Amino acid sequence: MFISTVSLISSNVPHLSSALNGIRLSLHVLAAAVWVGGQIVLAGLVPKVRKVSPEVLSAIANQFAKMAWPAFVVLVLTGLWNASAIDFSATSWAWKVVFIIKLVLVVVTGLASFLHTKAKSKKLIAAWGSVAGTSAIAVLVLGIFITG
């Protein structure tokens, strides 16, 4: 009985999350979809909008910002909730390194997005936008690697 329980835990048998874990991760992933997916979709739309109707570009960007920043706040809050549910003493050094890199990149994507909204020149707007988007994708990928 003991041996079969141990082999069940150590093998890759899928199991249902508890309701609370499901809510916590769903909120985190939903907010990541808005923050990361929104930036990717916006980057894809911008060239077309600029061609067809350049005057609405800033209205679209401002409206996206109104959704993206609350999503970022939800990411940080649910991220802290995720972290509180982890037994750090049981994690490997590699897991800790990946987690720390993820946290650094969270700061990078937040800061780059802020600077992107404040930049005046086209070059800087593009540069900060691509740093924000690339680091956001990296945070998402690292998040998947650290998920237990």
Contacting residues toward ligand HEM, per CB under 6 A: 25, 28-29, 32, 35-36, 75-76, 79-80, 82-83, 85-86, 106, 109, 136, 139-140, 143-144, 146-148
Question: Which is closer to ligand HEM, CB of 71 or CB of 125?
Answer: 71
Q: According to the 3-state scheme, what is the secondary structure of 105-134?
A: HHHHHHHHHHHHHHCCCHHHHHHHHHHHHH
Question: Which is closer to ligand HEM, CB of 25 or CB of 125?
Answer: 25
Question: Which is closer to ligand HEM, CB of 56 or CB of 85?
Answer: 85
Nearest distance from C-beta of residue 7 to ligand HEM, angstroms: 22
Sign of the torsion angle spanned by Cα atoms 35, 40, 46, 52: negative
In the chain, what is the straight-line distance between the N-terminal and C-terminal CA atoms, in Å? 25
Q: Tell me, what DSSP letter sits at residue 32? A: H
Q: In the complex, which residue's CB is closest to ligand HEM?
A: 79
